[in-house]
A and B are shown apart, each in its own frame.
Chain A
Amino acid sequence: MAEYQALYDAILNGDEALAVQITNEALARGADPSELITRGMIPAMDEVGRLFEAQEFYVPELLLAGRAMKASLEPLRPLLAASGAQPTGRVVLGTVKGDLHDIGKNLVGSMLEGAGFEVHDIGIDVPPAKFVDAVRSHTPHILALSALLTVTMPEMKKVIEALIQSGIRGQVKVLIGGAPVTRQFADQIGADGYGDNASSAVTVARSLLGQ
C-alpha cells in the first residue's frame, strides 16, 4: 500500500528518478504490475489532470509528471505484455498538415498515456493519407487531431473525408482539439469529440469509449 502512495507522490511531483526507483523496488518485492498502474500511476495522473483543469498546476508540472509516469511504466511493459494486459484504449495522435505545432499535441499524448491509453504519436504536419495509413496499421479506437492555426483547421475535415473515402470512418472515433478549434467546428466537420484542453481530452476519450 505504501509503495502505491510513494509512487503516486513521486509522479505527482514529477520526480522521474524516484518514480522509477520505487517501481523497480516494488517489482523486486513481487508487486503486481497492474496494481502499480491502477493504484499508483493512473490515480496520480488523474490528480495531475484535476489540478491542471482546476488551474492549480502549470504545464511544465503536467509534462514532468507525464514523463515520470512514462519512465516508471517502462520496466512494467514486458511484464504487462507477457500477462496479456490490455491498455485503456489505443490512440493515434497527430497535428494536421501544414501545422508545425506540437506542444498541445504532446500534452494530450502525455495525459492520455497517463490515463492508461496506448498512444501512437505520428508527429506534426501530417497529411490525411498518413492518418489513414496509421489508422489501418495501428487500428486505434481513437484518432486525435490537433491544429493551432485557423488556416490549418480545414485539414481536420480533410482527414475525416479521407477516412470516409477509405471506408474506415466507422472503425475509429475522431477527437479534435487546438487553440482555434471549437465544439461547433467539431460538430460541423463530423468529429466525434472535442477537447478544449489536455485534461478534458482524456475525459472525452474515455467517454467516447464508453468508460
Chain B
Amino acid sequence: MGGIPVLHAEGDCIARGWENSLIELHRNGCDVRTQYDKPDDPPSKDCTMILTITDPLCEPMIHKDFPGGPEQLQEYVMEVCEGIKDHLIRNPEDPADTRWEYTYHRRLFVYDIPGLGPFDQIETMCRKLAEVPHTRRAQAVTWKVWEDNDCFDPPCLQSLWARMLEEDGGWVLSLNARFRSNDAYKAAFMNIFALAQLQTKMGERISEISGKAVRVGRYCHIADSYHIYGSSFREFEGRFLGALQKRTFEQRTMRYEAVKGMMEAARPAILEKASRTGRR
C-alpha cells in the first residue's frame, strides 16, 4: 500500500482504546517531517487512524498521560459541551487579535453563516434521531469554507455523525467523530473524553425528546492525520512507552468516578476564571 498508512485500534474503554491507538501509531505509523518540528527533532509519526471505543463509559475512563489534571479535563469538557470559552473567539476583522479562531462548541452549537443562522447542529441531530432513529442524516460540521481555507488555525474536528440502533429492546446511540488532524499524544485523549461526554448528553436529550431510554453505544474516532510530533518524541518514548513496562494498566489510568466529585466541585472556579479571561 502506498501513502499514509490506515491503522485501526480498539479498546473497551477510552483509556485502553487511546493507549492502543498510540502503540499502533508508534509501531506502524510513517515518518513525516512537519513545520512544527524543531530542526533537531525527529520526524513526526503519522497515520490515518480509526479508533473504536466499544463502551465509552466503561471504567477506567481516564488515562493519566494527558497534559492537565482532573480540573483541566473538566474545564475542557465544559469548553466543548457548554461553551464556557466561546467569548475567546477572535475578531476576524482585527489582525492583531491573537485569540482563538474557533471553539468546537461554537461551531457545533452556534454555527453561524454570514446572513444566515446561527444553527444549533447538535439540537438538530438530537431531534432528527428522536424522530427517525435510523436516519443517516444526523450530522454536524465545523468547517467554514469562507473562513477556514485561509485562516491561521482552522479546526481539527471536522464532523460528528450519529445514529441509533435498537438493541435488546432499547435504543443505542453511536457517534463517529472525524478529525482532519489530531495530535495523538497531547490532544486526542482529551478530545475523545469530551466528545464521549457530549455523546452522553446527546443520548439524554434524545431520550428527553422521544420519551424512550437511550444507551450510549460505541464511539468511533477517525483522524485523517493522527500524529505524534517529533518534538514530543522524547517524552512519548520515556513517559508513555516507559510506563507500559513499569506500571500496570490500573496504575496508568484513573477511574472517572474517583475524581468526578473533584471535577464537579471545580465548576464554579472554572466558570469564574473563564468569565474573566480574554475579554476585549
Nearest CB on A from B275, distance (A): 12
Kindly name the residue among B239, B246, B254 whose own CB sees the greatest number of chain A CB atoms within 10 A.
B239
Given A55-B235, A100-B88, also A149-B98 (CB < 8 A)? yes
Which chain A positions have C-beta within 8 A of B100? 100
CB neighbors of B among A58-98 (8 A): 58-61, 63-64, 67, 98
A60 touches B98 (CB 8 A): no
Q: How many A-B residue pairs have CB under 8 A?
A: 59
Q: What interface size band does chain A fall in? A: 20 to 34
Which chain A positions have C-beta within 8 A of B124? none
Residue ID in chain A nearest B69 by CB atoms:
A63
Among the 9-residue stretches B60-68, B131-139, B195-203, B213-221, the one with 4 or more Cβ atoms under 8 Å from chain A is: B60-68
B277 touches A103 (CB 8 A): no
Residue ID in chain A nearest B73 by CB atoms:
A60
Nearest CB on B from A56, distance (A): 7
A60 touches B66 (CB 8 A): yes
A55 touches B238 (CB 8 A): yes
Nearest CB on B from A120, distance (A): 16
Nearest CB on B from A124, distance (A): 6
B118 contacts the other chain (CB 8 A): no
B67 touches A123 (CB 8 A): no
Q: Complex formed: what's the CA distance from A182 to B39 in Å?
A: 12
Given A55-B239, A98-B98, also A60-B277 (CB < 8 A)? no
B144 contacts the other chain (CB 8 A): no
Which chain B positions have C-beta within 8 A of A124? 277-278
B99 touches A98 (CB 8 A): yes
B210 contacts the other chain (CB 8 A): no
Contact of A152 among B98, B231, B235 (CB under 8 A): B98
A125 contacts the other chain (CB 8 A): yes
B239 touches A58 (CB 8 A): yes
B54 contacts the other chain (CB 8 A): no
B239 touches A60 (CB 8 A): no
Q: What interface size band does chain B fall in? A: 20 to 34
A1 contacts the other chain (CB 8 A): no
Q: Complex formed: what's the CA distance from A190 to B277 in Å?
A: 29
B92 contacts the other chain (CB 8 A): no
B64 touches A61 (CB 8 A): yes
Which chain B positions have C-beta within 8 A of A64? 69-70
A28 contacts the other chain (CB 8 A): no
A99 touches B98 (CB 8 A): yes
B181 contacts the other chain (CB 8 A): no
Given A56-B246, A60-B66, A152-B98, also A103-B72 (CB < 8 A)? yes
Kindly name the residue among B88, B100, B278 whose own CB sees the greatest number of chain A CB atoms within 10 A.
B278
Which chain A positions have C-beta within 8 A of B71? 63
CB neighbors of A among B208-243 (8 A): 231, 235, 238-239, 242-243
Q: Mark A145-160, 1 if CB is under 8 A from B, else 0.
A: 0000101100000000
Kindly name the residue among B62, B67, B254 whose own CB sees the greatest number of chain A CB atoms within 10 A.
B67
B68 touches A63 (CB 8 A): yes
A58 touches B68 (CB 8 A): no
A100 touches B278 (CB 8 A): yes
Contact of B278 among A55, A60, A106, A125 (CB under 8 A): A125
Nearest CB on A from B61, distance (A): 13
A60 touches B88 (CB 8 A): no
A151 touches B98 (CB 8 A): yes
Nearest CB on A from B1, distance (A): 34
B88 touches A59 (CB 8 A): no
Q: Complex formed: what's the CA distance from A51 to B64 in Å?
A: 14
Which chain A positions have C-beta within 8 A of B70? 60, 64
Nearest CB on B from A71, distance (A): 12
Kindly name the residue among A60, A124, A151, A179 whose own CB sees the greatest number of chain B CB atoms within 10 A.
A60
B68 touches A100 (CB 8 A): no
Which chain B positions have C-beta within 8 A of A98? 98-99
Q: Complex formed: what's the CA distance from A106 to B270 in Å?
A: 13
Q: Complex formed: what's the CA distance from A103 to B239 in Å?
A: 18
When A and B form their complex, which 5 residue pairs have the shortest distance between CB atoms, in order from nearest? A63-B69, A55-B238, A98-B98, A58-B64, A55-B239
Q: Can you pick out 15 interface pairs between chain A and chain B where the beta carbons lie within 8 Å of each other?
A: A55-B242, A58-B64, A58-B66, A58-B239, A58-B252, A59-B64, A59-B67, A59-B69, A98-B98, A103-B68, A123-B277, A124-B277, A125-B99, A149-B98, A152-B98
Instruction: Give chain B's interface residues, CB within 8 Å of chain A.
Output: 38, 62, 64-72, 88, 98-100, 231, 235, 238-239, 242-243, 246, 252, 254, 276-278
